[in-house]
Structure 1
């Protein structure tokens, strides 16, 4: 059997077929559009041949109808797809392939007015407008519009750096070659004739509000596809909503793309379909007559290797400050700070703890960079003033870094450009470290980022997930040299809660209905507004000092965790063996040691950790308490319950708080909890 490709790729042969048909569809006689199809007169499924002499030129509509009719009489195994496959060199991710098929159906005449896409951060949203333009807008210079629905595309984004990035994406040699299009768009800041001879323009939401009439007039003059990027920023009834409404009304197709279907303030999102439930109004993420919904979860992205796993290095520490009454306050552990978590975290991020955790992240990055020379590091600060202090600390460590904050947008854009640039190894001008505040939230698309020092006070789950996703990008240039992203993070309870919510969302055992309920209710995710509390406390509390005291590790993808004691032993073991820092995460170190121990069958060297070490009663008590606490929190998040309610039930049933329980009593609580609140995993 021949191994010939099903598709006629040669431009020379396609031109010959077009001229043989005199530029007309050989079925209906219409002028062939730019995206005409080379059809096998006798089915490829039967001949496995692609010979131009055995083919005919058809318009897409006639080709779809012919293939659909032929499929009716064919066995399922020999039926052909109605639509051409993606080019062999590029592998579209599941949501991108779904969107491409929607574009093909629109070409075939299906009436679809809106596409809503919720794509996990890092999953690949930036290709969606390009796919739309390549399939639904005629190529520059084309004389006929058969099969296309629009003249231009307008891509609206929330930030200036995203606007520039949109323009760059359209001229990416990789995308233009693989998707075979000739479109370009330009960044526009409310100049007349915004596209200026290109296939469209990118603008910010702020620019649309500043000159609503200009954009409304542009949409009257041309048929536009409208892309609302990170549309959760558009509040129902707000000024952005009012400015965008005329564009949405006139657009031939509206594409709404975001990494989260919820707003941090829990208000409704403009243009989002909603439905009434017992929990109130919730996003209606289901297809309707003229709306198509595409969802791409973190689990799907991990399975398709569209993102890399994220490993965390959690740092606990102490903190001391003077409160507004002039009294000294302190905590011995951020992880156990309770009501003082907000101010303790704020103190730690401005004093010695932050410097020590930043140094730890920097040392890991420098070690890793010896293997992957492309590796870059992102440092996220809580405030602009603190970001400038972090920059000084990095300079003290001999690290060349730049800073990008919202108070100096032109300089910020220039520094981000330096950071995004690919440098040759050993280039003295290389800038591989960026310090920022809020600009890391969305759109900082730098696949080479491998390390993030997440020294922020913000504890909003969508916000942190967007931030962490900066390190989850797959680096095509580095290939297998980047297998994970490494996040250095304060180990406070608020941050733990955020991770628990993300873990619950990606649980593979959750049934689809339960998953939909969680997604719909995650607007009430109990996000601690510690950013507000911490910010308020800055005016009335004086930070004194703090220290990084201990570390633990976790894997966001698998849920694997390593406690403080084991983390210390693992790092000590690897240091003793190699005599230097190891350019991998603690999770990876543990897996290497576990593999070594399994291969040996037993531990021959005291340098390696025994997995059956003897624990003291107090150590075992602590381990069981942590297991109980983690189980309660994960069960509560997964089932939309208040974890305090479960803790109260435990107290009422056993008659005492867990801190007062004996080891045997804790074992009974653990057994009772697994029976009454099973995780089924």
Structure 2
């Protein structure tokens, strides 16, 4: 069974192959992290070869993703679903990249180092060029210059990413931009000549392609000596303009260990009923990674490290992390940048965020490591991603923006501080904070926030006594249902206003105006179950 974006992409490729669409040279695929974009290159190969192309070239940001790309063609579900017989191979810069196969996979780094033989190959063959996570390619940068000859020669270029923005706010190369209320963003309207396919979080949750997220936000105190020699102190959640210093201090002192232990404790308890569960700790640097691995080992946790400074060891430990039930398997992996992309381990259920980075693309990619549905772990309704993060305003801003994509309200505190959060979206470079001296920190309270729908097995806390009359309750429910239907129309049915209401009437056989209270409640439950838009609460 194909997901909505896979089906839409396949149909678009089919119409291009049939000659029904002739004016499209590029396709932009905005797919939420974990939504399943890795099948799109296979769909392109099976649909467009030999009609408009001879081969595919899949460009990825990391070597670990090359292996996954090869595997997607060779052993992925596409072999059966698409009757795929195409194979590709990974290459890092040698001539004749395909070696008689249907294509190749390389990295942006390899193309940036040498693209001369690729230009010749693109002249001799019609290529579908697939740029995976193109936000790595900055407009005006060296990689854009290296890729430009290939983009010009390609029969079709496919851009596919879950984060169509860069952490430094600069533009992504080759993509069209348009004005919005939040400044310039990638134009997905299709008016620029590039076709666009979108698969946001709401759609992925509806398809049960990704898991709901349970956030544990931990507040704490931080104390540091500033560059002026004065001592400062604050709570993370109330740091305001000092948020960057407070986060840096907290993650360099006792608070970080406490957050790691809280995540570890929950994970160890969770594993007693979910044996496949894995935990990921994401830290700021290699020094911290080594420290936390030692800490976990002292607790009896089988943990290992995976950092880019030793790629051979990292690959070995990631493979051990993927193993289930073997003597060599490890339950917890501590990593730095490698958690960003290229780590596809569906059994990951817990993440401890011990990094100061507050870039929205980076954080979303990190969170996506735990939102993969793990088939052998049981039904979707019984799975959940648990993310432990510091309760600072920048992190809350990112969580809130994720909620925006699901058309839900953000926390009142974030709305009150919107202007400040917009100005402080990015943490300054760590080098700018070397003039402060962390003194100490302490963990205080925790609260939870859920993105997506809750598993059916969870029960809600007891509600306070309801003083509304039945008529008031019915009126409020009708209004809630009406608002919910409009949101579903916008998110799931491309603003076909009234479509959701028609489905309600068809399912329940009655207009809401004539429904009793208990039936209105059933309608609301049915809507939330079949069209989950997400919820957000705290304790």
Q: Structure 1 residue 177 and structure 2 residue 89: aligned?
A: no
Candidates 441, 448, 457, aligned match of 1:553: 448
Change (3 A) 1:284 1:490: same
Tell me the alpha carbon deviations over residues 216-260 of structure 1, each in whole angstroms, 9 at most, x when there is no partner.
112122221100011122122211111111111111111111112
User: Are residue 502 (structure 1) and residue 402 (structure 2) matched?
Assistant: yes
From 524, 529, 535, give the equivalent of 2:426. Answer: 529
Partner SS, residue 459 of structure 2: helix
CA distance 1:274–1:221, shift in 2 (3 Å): same
Greater alpha carbon shift after TM alignment, 319-328 vs 190-199: 319-328
Question: Counterparts of 1:165 and 1:473 in 2: how far apart (Å)?
Answer: 15
1:279 CA drift (Å): 7.3
How far the C-alpha of 1:417 sits from its partner, in A, is 2.4
Report what 2:504 is aligned to: none
- Aligned equivalent of 1:120: 32
Q: Is the 8 A contact 1:93 1:304 kept in 2?
A: yes
CA positional deviation for 1:371: 1.8
Picking from 592, 595, 616, the partner of 2:459 is: 592
Cα separation, 2, equivalents of 1:226 and 1:163: 15
What SS class does the counterpart of residue 339 from structure 2 fall into? coil
Which residue of 2 is the match for residue 478 of structure 1?
Answer: 377
Number of the residue aligned with 1:13: none
Instruction: Name the residue aligned to 2:238.
Output: 336
Measured at CA, do residues 188 and 291 of structure 1 come closer, stay the same or move farther in structure 2, by a change above 3 Å? same
How far does the alpha carbon of each residue in 1:556-587 deviate from its partner, in whole angstroms, 9 at most, with x for none?
A: 226xxxxxxxxxxxxxxxxxxxxxxxxxxxx8
Provide TM-score, normalisation by structure 2. Answer: 0.79
Partner Cα distance (1:589, 1:490) in 2:
28
Separation in structure 2 between the aligned mates of residue 289 and residue 540 of structure 1, nearest angstrom: 47
SS at match of 1:315: strand
Matches within 5 A, 1:439-450: 439-450=338-349
Local SS of the residue matching 1:444: coil
| CA deviation string 1:535-556 (max 9, x = no partner) | 421x222223222121111112
In structure 2, what is the Cα distance between the partners aligned to 1:527 and 1:184?
Answer: 46
C-alpha displacement of 1:392:
1.1
What value does the CA root-mean-square deviation take over the aligned residues?
Answer: 2.5
CA distance in 2, matches of 1:362, 1:166: 32
Q: TM-score, normalised by structure 1?
A: 0.63
Distance 2:108 2:47 in 1: 25
Stretches of structure 1 that go unaligned for 5 or more consecutive residues are 1-90, 138-144, 511-523, 559-586, 598-609, 614-681
1:376 deviation in Å?
Answer: 1.0
1:198-213 equivalent positions in 2, closer than 5 A: 198-213=101-116
1:396 matched residue in structure 2: 298
The superposition leaves residues 495-539 of structure 1 with CA deviations (integer Å, 9 ceiling, x where unpaired) of 1111122212321699xxxxxxxxxxxxx955522152x5421x2
Match of 1:246 in 2: 149
Report the counterpart of residue 462 of structure 1 in structure 2: 361
Q: How does 1:541-580 map to 2 (within 5 A)?
A: 541-557=436-452
Q: Secondary structure at the match of 2:163?
A: coil
1:287/1:373 Cα in 2 relative to 1: closer, same or farther (>3 Å)? same
Distance of aligned partners of 1:364 and 1:443 in 2 relative to their CA distance in 1, 3 Å threshold: same
Larger Rg: 1
State the partner residue of 2:257: 355
The residue correspondences of 1:93-104 to structure 2 (distance < 5 A) are 93-104=3-14
Q: CA deviation at 1:134?
A: 1.9
Label 1:108 to 1:277 Cα distance change in 2 as closer, same or farther (>3 A): same
What SS class does the counterpart of residue 592 from structure 1 fall into?
coil
Helix, strand or coil for the counterpart of 1:477?
A: helix
Tell whether 2:392 aligns with 1:492.
Answer: yes
* Count of aligned pairs between the two proteins: 453
Structure 1 residue 321 displacement after superposition: 2.6
Q: Say whether residues 1:255 and 2:158 are aligned partners.
A: yes
* Ranges in structure 2 where 5+ consecutive residues have no aligned partner: 411-420, 467-539
What whole-Å deviation, never above 9, does each CA across 1:605-624 have from its counterpart, x for those lacking one? Answer: xxxxx7469xxxxxxxxxxx
Aligned twin of 1:649: none
Specify which of 166, 169, 172 is matched with residue 69 of structure 2.
166
Is residue 457–residue 531 contact of structure 1 (8 Å, CA) maintained in 2?
A: no
